[in-house]
Amino acid sequence: MGKEEMRRLEKQLQFIVEIDKVKNIFRQTYLADAGRKENDAEHSWHIALMAYLLQEYAEEQVNVSKVMLMVLIHDLVEIDAGDTYAYDAAGAETKRDRESAAADRIFGLLPEDQGKYFRELWEEFEGYETVDAKYAHLLDNFQPLLLNDASDGRSWTEHSVKKSQIYKRNEKIEEISGEIWNCMQKIVQKHIEKGHVEDA
């Protein structure tokens, strides 16, 4: 192995070790058994599997292998930027700047070609415009909703979440998958009736 190849491998290994930190970034969503909150690595693994399993419900054909990689890397920026809760309005104001700086540093650890590709994938996800990015967002939003349902609405109750907030966050889901949106609405309605989500 020549010097350049060795340097390339060193960069890749440095990145691999660095992203281990994502296992320590905890989210507000509880695991299905409500025993503890999930971390970003668990969330990303979960939605990568969902990308494959639920592709048949997307209104348009998606590139599943690309989406799987997109969702596996989408939260790596939170190593530096931290997790911003879905309904944290104040945190949302600085989220883009914090995460963009984190993307520069973290993806910058990789060899240039791989770092550029990961950064482009991350930007595509953030842009929420392509079919693949929209499907990735559907997964990113649907998974915590499923876990909130399984954990008896624990996170929603703790944060006094309103129906209007959930609907606003998921306003584009119907165009991506009518079937998934119907499923989400039923779950939200169930938790309104249980008193876990405010009907406002």
Query: Is the pLDDT score of 173 beyond 90?
Result: yes
pLDDT score recorded for residue 96? 84
pLDDT for position 92:
67
What's phi and psi for 29, nearest 5 deg? -85, 135
Whether the predicted pLDDT of 67 surpasses 70: yes
What does the pLDDT read at residue 83?
76
Q: Which pLDDT belongs to residue 86?
A: 62
Express each pLDDT in 92-145 by its tens digit: 677 788 899 999 999 999 999 999 999 999 999 999 999 999 999 999 999 999
Q: How far apart are CA 134 and CA 52, in angstroms?
A: 15
Cα dist from 167 to 144, 157, 182, 200, whole Å? 14, 16, 12, 11
Q: What single DSSP character describes residue 35?
A: S
Q: Which residues of 22-33 are buried (b: 16+ CB within 10 A; e: fewer)?
A: beebbbbbbeee
Q: What pLDDT does residue 85 have?
A: 66
How big is the chain by its Cα radius of gyration, in Å?
18
- Residue 3, pLDDT above cutoff 80: yes
pLDDT of residue 180: 98
| Local structure of 109: helix, strand or coil | coil
Tens of pLDDT along 33-65?
999 999 999 999 999 999 999 999 999 999 999
Q: pLDDT by residue (tens digit) across 71-105?
A: 999 999 999 988 766 666 665 677 788 899 999 99
Q: Output the CA torsion 197→184→71→158 (10° steps).
A: 10
Q: What is the pLDDT of residue 2?
A: 86
Give the Cβ contact number of residue 44 at 10 Å: 21
| Nearest Cα to Cα of residue 54 among 125, 137, 123, 163 | 137
Report, as an integer, the average pLDDT of 21-26.
Answer: 97
